[in-house]
Amino acid sequence: MLVPLTVRRFTCLNIGCWRRTFVEQVPGLTRRYARHTVLAAG
């Protein structure tokens, strides 16, 4: 089953920040750096 998911991508404007982009996480569904959703990995 495929579920379309749209998340926002944010850009850090601080020059000293080592992270350039950030993506919002959906609690209970997504994890940082994960290749699969929480439900699909379990």
30's torsion region: left (phi>0), alpha (psi -120 to 50) or beta? beta
Which band of pLDDT confidence, cut at 50, 70 and 90, is reported for residue 40?
Answer: low
Q: What are phi and psi of 38, to 5 degrees?
A: -60, -40
What are 1-30's pLDDT values in tens digits? 677 878 888 888 888 888 788 888 877 777
Domain residue limits at 10: 1-42
The per-residue pLDDT for 38 is 66
pTM across the whole model: 0.43
Domains identified in the chain, total number: 1
Band of residue 37 on the pLDDT scale cut at 50, 70, 90: low
